[in-house]
């Protein structure tokens, strides 16, 4: 069943004499979710920075700081990161051997999934559809400094949050 067929089927009225298909409900039900960070995968700063640079380069929108500027920051504003809207789905979970999964983002190996999560991912990977995506965390930011009563720029170490979801 394709995605179009799934949405097309939503408009069809349910018949009381027709039992619900498990196939349709199984496809939209999340069976397992996992989140790992690049730091959990033991990725070094150079590797993370290289992956982030590639993600930024390939991002078609480049909506830095979620469109905010220093002038937009007020005492009620929360910290906003330059790359917080940068994501990619170019992520692979490459099974090397039992309970060892190498995460590859934008063609760059990041590191191995911790053993406990690797077991679960391998169990679901054989039977369910994987959707994976990566968000950039940290980096340059804007925030309002209450002590100085003005907006300021700062920077924190870059990171990656990697999400895997099986349906």
Please say whether the beta carbons of 152 and 12 come within 8 A: no
Domain that holds residue 138: 31-166
Q: How far apart are CA 52 and CA 134, in angstroms?
A: 10
Asked whether residue 10 is assigned to any structural domain, the reply reads no
Q: How many structural domains compose the chain?
A: 1
Asked whether residue 162 is assigned to any structural domain, the reply reads yes
Tokens of 138: 């940290």
Asked whether residue 148 is assigned to any structural domain, the reply reads yes
Q: What is the pLDDT of residue 59?
A: 94
Q: What is the pLDDT of residue 126?
A: 86
Average pLDDT, the chain: 88
From the CB of residue 162, how many other CB atoms can be counted at a distance below 10 Å?
Answer: 23
Q: How far apart are CA 9 and CA 105, in angstroms?
A: 35
DSSP letter string over 14-37? PPTTSPPPHHHHHHHS--EEEEEE
Asked whether residue 71 is assigned to any structural domain, the reply reads yes
Mean pLDDT throughout 43-63? 96
Asked whether residue 8 is assigned to any structural domain, the reply reads no
Higher pLDDT, 26 or 133: 133
Residue 36: what are its φ and ψ, rounded to 5°? -135, 150
């Amino acid at each position: 069943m394709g995605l179009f067929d799934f949405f097309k089927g939503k408009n069809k009225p349910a018949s009381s004499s027709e039992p619900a298909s498990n196939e349709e409900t199984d496809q939209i039900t999340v069976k397992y979710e996992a989140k790992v960070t690049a730091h959990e995968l033991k990725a070094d700063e150079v590797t993370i920075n290289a992956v982030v640079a590639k993600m930024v380069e390939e991002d078609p929108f480049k909506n830095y700081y979620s469109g905010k500027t220093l002038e937009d920051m007020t005492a009620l504003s929360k910290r906003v990161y330059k790359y917080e809207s940068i994501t990619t789905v170019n992520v692979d979970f490459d099974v090397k051997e039992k309970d060892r999964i190498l995460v590859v983002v934008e063609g760059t190996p990041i590191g191995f999934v911790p053993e406990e999560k690797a077991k679960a991912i391998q169990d679901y990977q054989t039977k369910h559809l994987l959707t994976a995506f990566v968000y950039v965390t940290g980096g340059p930011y804007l925030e309002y400094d209450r002590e100085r009563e003005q907006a300021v720029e700062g920077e924190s170490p870059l990171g990656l949050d990697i999400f895997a979801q099986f349906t």
